[in-house]
Structure 1
Amino acid sequence: MNVSFLSGIPFPVWFAIGCVVVLLLNHYVKQAAARAKGAVPAPRDVRKAGKEKDWNKLNEHHTPKVHGKREDMATDPRARLLAPSMVYALCNGDPVNELALSAPEATKTMMEHDWGITDREGLIRQLYSLLRAGQREGFASLRERCQKKSWAESEIARLSKTADSSMEDWESRWRIRRFLDNDRGIQTLDFAAWDFLRAANLTRAGAGLGWLSEDEAWDTFALINRALQHSYSSWDEAWEAYRTTRWLWAAEGDVQTAANDLHDRNRGEFLLGASGLWTAIPWDAPYPTTRFLLLDALADMGALRLLQPSAWRYASAWEQYLDAHARTRAPMSIGGKPIVQ
């Protein structure tokens, strides 16, 4: 009877059933492949908030391009060197474990529009700025001023006086309030990862655009990895510092903050989840020692800037370390001491 029933089903119906089965199988195969690359289903709270579609789009956006096997990165020195650049490689669609760009022209436009960098000299100066002080210097200075509550409250009042105050004033008020409230623990946060991971992104871009030689790029990656290890004890700690500082930097209001938080939560899964890229690369994995080729290039340009003696005592261990190596390359004054700028 069952055979008779099945034989009575028209071919178009069988064809439609077959197409549905193939589509379902293809869907599950794609899901399995995505999970192997770090994608995870939308967490319960994300689904409850009605953001599952947004999460799934972010899974597609952040799916990494890996050359070879993910597990091979654990013993690949170049993958370890590139690890800090993976944060942006995920968003840019760049291969995470190769020094390459997926869209050089788009990268060139980004460098000019977002950074004002159009050539080798501009890139090298910006890399040095990020490694030496970056935006963390300004954030730390504002945090220090906010220790005096009376100053912070009067500054908020001053910035709020005009009804149509500038975006810059709005951002300043927002950040001061965050410091006063110690929102997300920023009173004790080390902001340096924000600068170091962006420097890694610029290093990849500079190499891809021909502004850095490959040798210079790998050596600068070694310098950036050294900077991270001076400041943090794990990938988790570095990521938390980066994403919290990015939140402080963005200052774009509640709606955009929620979108940014979802974006970085998803990106964090691809970095530090069970199948995450950084999970595959030990924090203490060996990599070549830097030769400070970036400092050599800066010395040739006459662009080294040394810490003033009064600033040395307040500088971080990393900043003192970088400054010490810069001094060996700095021009000497008549008295035989490096010129301090």
Structure 2
Amino acid sequence: MDDFLSDLTRDLPGWLGIVLVVVVVGGGWFGISRLGAWAAASSERRAAVATARATARSLRPRYARSSAALVAEPDAFALAASAWLAHASGQPLDRFAYAHPQALEPMLARYYGVHDRDDLETELVRLLVEGHRAWPHGDAEGPIDFAVWDLVRVVELCRAGLGLGVLTEADARDTARFAAGTLQARYGDWSSLGSQLERAFRHTHDEVTRHAARLAQIECDGIRTMLQSPDGPWTVVPWTTPVAGSELRMLPADPARVRRAALTEPWEAPIRAKQLGG
């Protein structure tokens, strides 16, 4: 380096040679520094991917009792349909009412903007009448069916509301049954529901970098594998499990809101009728 700099500055004015030396040496150190930072970041990304893969491989269904208890639950299909979100919320998969009330309030506030019973009822009505499907979006595979995202969240809110004691069991189960029955009629099997749910989940979580998207994909793959494992809810609960009827007890009459919402899908007809006062 010294010989190179000497040859480079031999015929230059003194001040210009000094400037050139500073640029060459400083640029070299800057390049080395950036290269080191890139290598460190790359190493961190590889470590994060390895950790995510190990976590995904270690996922197991979490039951308060057992998978048999899930199958025996009166609303087993609703629990299985919402198992993805129940798992993400750290909840047992075989209990209708969410446990750990102290952790539910921050979760509901963060993801749903729900702070009390009035908020919870308002959000349930919003998901049923409009929800995310009111603003259609798509991905590289085409349009995303956000009905699955709205309906699965309806079930989660019913389970969380019952766990917090702000919904009666009759209201919570009745509303969840409407969502569960619609999901069962709309999709052909757990795999189809899972595919649409994953696409909606990924889209709404706005992964902005390739690395973040890769980690999210690993997480999604791990959850789906867990749900479809031999002891998983999507294996032990048959798709054809009977779902009781619903009266949409919590949905108030609101003709003005019906006029603002589309509600043109066949499955939305009961919602429209109830909102119109039927």
Normalising by structure 2, report the TM-score.
0.74
What is the distance in 2 between the residues matched to 1:94 and 1:305?
37
Q: Is the 8 A contact 1:194 1:243 kept in 2?
A: no
Which of 203, 207, 211 pairs up with 1:255? 211
Q: What's the CA shift string for 1:106-155, capped at 9, x where partnerless?
A: 210121233221111111111111122211211x2xx5xxxxxxxxxxxx
- Work out whether residues 136 and 192 of structure 1, in 8 Å CA contact, stay in contact via their aligned partners in 2: yes
Structure 1 segments unaligned to the other structure (5+ residues): 1-48, 144-178, 330-341
**Is 1:320 aligned to 2:269, yes or no?**
yes
Gaps of at least 5 residues in structure 2 are: 1-45
Which of residues 100, 104, 120 is equivalent to 1:103? 100
User: In the superposition, relative to structure 1, how do residues 52 and 318 fare at CA in structure 2: closer, same or farther (>3 Å)?
Assistant: same
Contact 1:82 1:221 in 2 (8 A): no
Within the candidate set 268, 282, 295, 2:238 is matched to: 282
Aligned runs of 1:64-83 on 2, under 5 Å?
64-71=61-68, 73-83=70-80
The one-letter amino acid paired with 1:324 is A
Q: Is the 8 A contact 1:59 1:266 kept in 2?
A: yes
Residue 240 (structure 1) aligns with:
195
How many residues align? The count is: 231
Give percent identity, aligned residues only: 25
Q: 1:202 aligns with which of 144, 157, 160?
A: 157
Aligned residue type for 1:308: R
1:53 alignment partner, SS class: helix
Which structure is larger by alpha-carbon Rg, 1 or 2? Answer: 2
Q: Which residue identity lines up with residue 55 of structure 1 in the other structure?
A: R
In 1, Cα distance between equivalents of 2:261 and 2:162:
36
CA contact (8 A) 2:158 2:176 kept: yes
Contact 1:104 1:208 in 2 (8 A): yes
Paired with 2:260 and 2:87, the residues of 1 have a C-alpha distance of 41
Letter of the aligned partner of 1:251 in structure 2? Answer: D
Equivalents in 2 of 1:193, 1:127: separation in Å? 14
Runs of 4+ in 1 over 6 A off after TM superposition: none
| Pair 90,310 (structure 1): closer, same or farther in 2 beyond 3 Å | closer
Mapping of residues 155-304 of structure 1, within 5 Å: 179=138, 183=140, 185-187=141-143, 189-253=144-208, 254-295=210-251, 298-299=252-253
Amino acid aligned to 1:82: L
